[in-house]
Amino acid sequence: MTVTRYLLVQDPPFLDRITIKQFVPNLAHGSRYAIFRTCLEDFQSAGFIAFSMVLSDADRIPSWFDMTAAARAAEPNTPGARLYELAGGCQGMSGRTLSNLPWVALTMYTRRVPCAMDEVISALETAIFHELDGKHGV
C-alpha cells in the first residue's frame, strides 16, 4: 500500500470514504432539508423518536414542497418549520456531514432514547452549532 501527498490526484469517492471534507458547491436548501428529514423519519421508524399513538402534527415533518412560506409563518414552531430554518443555516456543509449531524445530535445531545421530536430537533440545532463553531473557529 502506498501513500500519496497529492490529494487532488485521488478520485472523489475515495476522498469521501476517508472523510476528508470537501466543499460541494450549490447544495440546495431543499437538498439539505431532505437529508435531515430522511434521517429523522428513519429515527422515527427505528423507534428512536417517540410519538403518541395518534400521529400528531408535532410528529410529522412535511416534504420540502409542503413547506411554503405561509405554512412556516403560520406555525413557526412545528418540526418542519424548525428543520427548514436549520437546513438554511447549513450552507457549505457536505452531504456526509449533514447526514451525520442527526446521529451526533441523537447520541450526544439527548438524554434518553426514545425521545420527543422537539428534543431531537433541539439536539440537532446544538450539533449544527458545534459543527459550525469548529469549522469557523469562532
**Closest by Cα among 36, 48, 44 to 85:** 36
Spans of all domains in the chain: 23-136
**pLDDT value, residue 11:** 66
**pLDDT value, residue 33:** 93
**pLDDT value, residue 75:** 80
Q: Indicate if the pLDDT at residue 53 is higher than 70.
A: no
Q: How confident is the model at residue 85 (pLDDT cuts 50, 70, 90)?
A: very high
Q: Whole-prediction pTM value? A: 0.75
pLDDT tens digits along 11-35: 666 666 666 665 556 689 999 999 9
Sign of the CA dihedral 101, 104, 106, 110?
A: negative
Q: At what angle do helices 29-46 and 79-88 cross, to 10 degrees?
A: 130
- Cβ 78 vs Cβ 58: under 8 Å: yes
pLDDT tens digits along 109-137: 998 889 988 899 999 999 999 999 886 44
Q: Indicate if the pLDDT at residue 4 is higher than 60.
A: no
